[in-house]
Amino acid sequence: MTVEPIPVIRAAYLELFMDAADQCASKDMAGLLQFNLPANLANKPDAYVPLKTALSFAQWAAQDADIEAFGIKVGSRLQVSHFSAGLRSALQGAASLERALECFARLADRERSDVHYRIERAGDEVKICSSVDTAPLSETEYLGEWLRIMSLMTVIRYFTGNEWMPSAIALQSHREPGQHARRAFPRTRFLTGQAETGIIIPASLLSLATTRNYPLHGKAGAPGTESAATGPAWDFPVSLQEIVQTYLDDGYPDINLAANVIGFSVRTLQRRLKEFGLSYTDVVQQARFRLATDLLRDPGTKVIDAALAVGYEDPSHFGRAFRRLAGISPNQYRRLNYAY
C-alpha cells in the first residue's frame, strides 16, 4: 500500500481567510483553537498546516456566507506578496508572463502540496490547468478550487493589471456559477464539470513583460532563478514533519495531537511511519533539527532562542540533541553557517 503525503497549505492563506471573514481577533483565536491550529500562525506565514483542516477552518470562518462568494473574496485579496519567498523571487525575475506561469506551475506545490499545474497551448488560446490529488470535490474543496483559480489570476494580473479577465474559467464542480462569480467575471465564459480546474487566456498574452516596478516583500533572485523555492519532494514523513514543525514553539507536540490534527488514529500514524522505517520521535527530532539549523544561520539568533523555538526548555538538552544529529555543537554550526 502506497502511503500518500498529507496535503498541506501555507499558513499565509489562513490569514487571508480570517481577513476575508472580517471577524474580530478573539473569534479568530477561538476558531484556530477549535481546529487545533496554533494561535500564533499570523507570525508564521511559511508554516504548513493540513489542507483539510485549513479549508474546514475557512468554511467555519465564512459562517453562512456563500462558499463561492467567500472563495472569490479571499482570492481577490491574494497578492504576489502573499506567496512564499522563493515563488515571489521567481515571479519577480521572470522576463515574461509565459516564464512566470512556468515558474508558478513548477513551484506551486510549495504553496499547497497536492496541487499540480500544467500549461497547454490550443491554437490561439492557452489553458492553464490544475488538478489535485484529493477527490472527489467536497464543499470545502470547492472553496479550494476558487483559490486555485484566483492564484492563477494573481500571477497573470501582475503582468496585465487588475482589471484583466480570462476568456474562460473551467471548474471541475458541476455547480453553475452564481451571481458572485458572474459579477466578478462579467466577460468570462464558465465551463463546469471539467476534468481540470483552470483558466483560458489568449496566447498573445504570454509575451507580456511586467510593468510593475514596486518591490515585493522578500529578496528577489536573479531573473529566471528559483533556488530559494526548492525543497524536498513531498512524501508522508516530510509532510508530517512540516506540520509538526508548526507546533514546536508550544513545546513537544504530543503524538495524540499530531494524529488528531491529520485525522488519523495514533496506531495508524505509527503504522504508516513504520513503513518508512521511522518513529514519531524520529519525525519530531528531524523537524526540530531543520528548524534549528534555519534559525542558527541568522547571526542575530541566540542559541537559547533557537532552543526555545524548537520546543526545548533546557538549552543543554538542545545542545546534546543537536550534536547527535549534526556532529557539532549549535555554536559551531552557527559560526560555520552565518547568513551574511
Mean pLDDT of 36-64: 88
Q: Are 290 and 242 in contact (CB under 8 A)?
A: no
Cell of 173: 464542480
Cell of 305: 532562542
SS (H, E, C) 49-117: EEHHHHHHHHHHHHCCCCHHHHHHHHHHHCCHHHCCHHHHHHHHHCCCHHHHHHHHHHHHHHCECCEEE
Q: From residue 96, how far is each of 102, 158, 159, 207, 208 by CA, in Å?
A: 10, 11, 8, 5, 5
Mean pLDDT of 255-280: 95
Which of 10-24, 57-71, 164-178, 199-213 has the largest mean confidence? Answer: 164-178
Q: Does residue 339 or residue 187 have the better pLDDT?
A: 187
Mean pLDDT across the chain: 87
Q: How far apart are CA 245 and CA 289, in angstroms?
A: 10
With a cut of 80, say whether residue 273 has pLDDT above it: yes
Q: Does residue 234 or residue 31 have the better pLDDT?
A: 234
With a cut of 90, say whether residue 221 has pLDDT above it: no
Full-model pTM: 0.87
28: confidence class by pLDDT, cuts 50, 70, 90: low
Which of 26-40, 69-83, 135-149, 207-221 has the largest mean confidence? Answer: 69-83
**% of the chain at pLDDT higher than 70:** 88
305: confidence class by pLDDT, cuts 50, 70, 90: very high
- Looking at residue 228, what is its pLDDT? 44
Which of 89-93, 199-203, 216-220, 231-235 has the largest mean confidence? Answer: 199-203
65: confidence class by pLDDT, cuts 50, 70, 90: confident
7: confidence class by pLDDT, cuts 50, 70, 90: very high
Q: How does pLDDT run across 112-148, given as a tens digit for each residue?
A: 999 999 999 989 999 999 998 865 556 677 888 999 9
Mean pLDDT of 279-300: 92
- Looking at residue 1, what is its pLDDT? 56
Mean pLDDT of 201-209: 95
Domains of the chain: 8-212 (3.90.1520), 247-336 (1.10.10.60)
- Looking at residue 210, what is its pLDDT? 76
